[in-house]
Amino acid sequence: MGDNIAMRDAFGEALLEAGKKNKKIVVLSGDLEDATRAEYFKKEIPERFFSLGIAEQDLLGTAVGLSLDGLIPVATSFAVFLTNRAYGILRISICYNKRNVKIVGSHAGLTVGPDGATAQCLEDFAITRVLPNLVVLVPADAVETKKAFKAMIDYKGPVYMRVCRAPTPVITDQSSPFTIGKANVLSHGQDISIIACGIMVEKAMVAAHHLVKDGINARVINMHTIKPIDKETVITAARETGAIVTAEEHQINGGLGSAVSEVLSTSHPVPLEMVAVNDTFGESGPPDQLLEKYGLTSAHIIESGKKVIARKKEKMKA
């Protein structure tokens, strides 16, 4: 594949670039700007950077205030602190009031690594997608992160975007499209669909490459928008391939897999297997070893793929 680049670095660069061009952008941080790379903006445009200290509810509330007169606030911190800790403010002050606040949750998922469970946000898709008026984005790599950030700024309304800490493979390029709510179909197999998001998209592609050897042609879909989910692409995939695997760096309850299963069960039920963290907290460790231990590798996608193909065959016999 491509180089390994951290999404958080790409975010930091995109934020600075956008902030230079658009004077309405202001940035808020919860004393983690060095880690989230919001400090790139802070160093060059300090007058539009506000640290709220370790106070995420205050951070999101202050962002709302800044948005009320047309500024575009970008609220930055770790995903776990912005979504979990400040959830009530996200719900009412931001979503219920439909404020134009952009929330970027960094260091999401297991690949935060050694910091361990308290930092590893594994439930942000579940709790954000359930809020009305909120768009939820999960870019697949550093290149897509910049496009997602641009789309986030252009969009009128509240948006949550998750980015990761560790360097991960770049699998998209400048020509790859990015439209909020429109999934990217990366390969066009007819035997099975693998709907993935974030760092799992690259693993889905590796899995698809291996499945060919078993005579299985997979359709790999980059579902970069968890909400609004691209129902059309999901239903088409169900109709044309008849078997689906979802893959996400997130809990099995309530995330991408659940969102896809909601679409399938109400429109076109087909066998579905989910690759996700199986309802457990994470722990300290190097990112790659954590992904292995918690079942988030291409090998796990391959295994789930074969399982769901077997279920599809059973269903066809019945």
Partner 1 sequence: MKRRSEEKKSVNIEELKEKARQFRKEILEMITTAGSGHPGGSLSSVEILITLYYYVMQHNPQDNCWPLRDRFIMSKGHASPIVYVTLANAGYFPKEELKTFRKLGSRIQGHVHIGVPGIELSTGSLGQGLSVANGIALGAKLRKAGFNVYCLMGDGEIQEGQVWEAAMTAAHHKLDNLYAILDYNKVQENGPVAEIKNEDPIADKWKSFGWHVIEVDGHNFNQLITAFDEAGSITGKPSIIIAHTIKGKGVSFMEGQSAWHGKAPTKPELDKALAELGY
Residues 6+ apart with CB under 8 A from 183: 195, 221, 222, 223, 224, 225, 230, 233, 234
Min dist CB 27 to partner 1, Å, is: 12
**Interaction between residue 279 and partner 1 (CB under 8 A):** no
State in angstroms the smallest separation of the CB of 63 from partner 1: 6
Is 73 or 305 the residue whose CB approaches partner 1 more closely? 73
Joined together, the tokens standing for residue 188 give 């066009």
3-class state of residue 41 by DSSP:
helix
Collapsed DSSP state (helix, strand, coil) of residue 260:
helix
Residues 74-113 within binding reach of partner 1 (CB under 8 A): 88-89, 91-93, 96-97
Rounded least distance, CB 15 to partner 1, Å: 17
Could you say whether residue 55 binds partner 1 (CB under 8 A)? Answer: yes
* 62 lies in the site for partner 1, by CB under 8 A: yes
Among 8, 37, 48, 203, binds partner 1 (CB under 8 A): 48
Q: Is 261 exposed, middle or buried (0-12, 13-18, 19+ CB in 10 A)?
A: middle
Specify the stretch interacting with partner 1 by CB under 8 A; choose among 3-11, 53-61, 106-114, 295-303: 53-61
Q: Does 47 bind partner 1 (CB under 8 A)?
A: yes
Q: Work out whether 64 is an interface residue with partner 1 (CB under 8 A).
A: yes
Residues in contact with partner 1, counted by CB under 8 A, come to a total of 28
54 CB contacts (<8 Å, ≥6 apart)?
A: 30, 31
The CA-based diameter of the chain, rounded to the nearest angstrom, is 67
Active site residues: 56
Distance from C-alpha of 9 to C-alpha of 275, rounded to nearest angstrom: 27
CB of 285 to partner 1, least distance (A): 33
Euclidean distance between CA atoms 97 and 93, whole angstroms: 6
> Where along the sequence are the contacts to partner 1 (CB under 8 A)?
26, 47-48, 50, 52-53, 55, 57-58, 60-69, 71, 73, 88-89, 91-93, 96-97
